[in-house]
Amino acid sequence: MLLLAYAALHAFPQVLFAYSVSERGITLYSSRPIAARAADRLARARDLIDRSELAVPGRSERVFLCNSPWLYRLFAPLSGGAFAVSMPATGHIFVAMADVDADLAYSQAAVYNRRTFSGLVAHEATHNLIRRRLGLWRASRLPSWVVEGYCDHVAGDGSFPEERGLRLIAAGESSPELSFRYFEHRRRVAKLIDEQGLSFEMLARWAAEHD
């Protein structure tokens, strides 16, 4: 019975989010009053998503802003330290914490724990688009650098400081944070797409042959 109730909650999380606003097919739900500039942030997220070749005209996204550690853990028990998560079964996107007016999202990481909210929504929506294009099984078999790198490529940013990342790469150095690995993934994907002209499908095939 508890398992069924939990599954129902994942299917219809709106019951815990009293407020909502929609803009260009993206609906933001929140347990607190919605920020004044939410529509602007969702519009920017849509602009980012639509730049991707995987974008689907008319596709809708549902984003649930938790802004509560216990609420986020309820829906994302295995992703407590992440900025957000998109659920493979439903496509629902759960965001841990954000200041929507400031266009900032936050994680529980000790450092490099913020990024743009609109970029984060685009990142998670792109996870959904990858699964839609490839199917759950094939998408799950892609290496992390392709998936996370492409999602951040669409988002146009990440949480690791751009200038510091470029300096480290130029010096042949590294940094232990996961955010730096994502930065490297985004740079690698950008090079293959922007400089070598690979499409996402070509990128997925290239990764299968070389990884």
Burial category of 12 from C-beta neighbours within 10 Å (exposed 0-12, middle 13-18, buried 19 and up): exposed
The residues with which 104 forms a beta bridge, in sequence order, are 99, 116
Q: What is the pLDDT at residue 208?
A: 81
**Amino acid 154: pLDDT:** 99
Q: What is the DSSP string of 49-112?
A: HHTSTT--TT--EEEEE--SHHHHHHH-TT-TTSSEEE-TTT--EEESEEETTTTEEE-S-SSS
pLDDT at residue number 209: 81
Helix (H) or strand (E) holding 153: helix 144-155
- Look at the chain and report how many structural domains it folds into: 1
pLDDT at 211: 72
Tokens of 148: 């996370």
What is the residue range of 155's domain?
A: 2-210
The span from the CA of 21 to the CA of 29, in Å, is 7
- CATH number reported for the structural domain that contains residue 123 in this entry: 1.10.390
Q: Determine the angle formed by the axes of helices 200-210 and 117-134, rounding to 10 degrees.
A: 70
Tell me the per-residue pLDDT of 90-147, one tens digit each, with 9 for 90 and over: 999 999 999 999 999 999 999 999 999 999 999 999 999 999 999 999 999 999 999 9
Q: What is the pLDDT of residue 84?
A: 99
pLDDT of residue 113: 98
Segments of the chain with pLDDT less than 70? none
Query: What pLDDT sits at residue 115?
Result: 99
Both ends of the chain: CA-CA distance in Å? 43
Rounded to whole angstroms, how far apart are CA atoms 52 and 148?
Answer: 14
Place of tokens 């841990």: 96
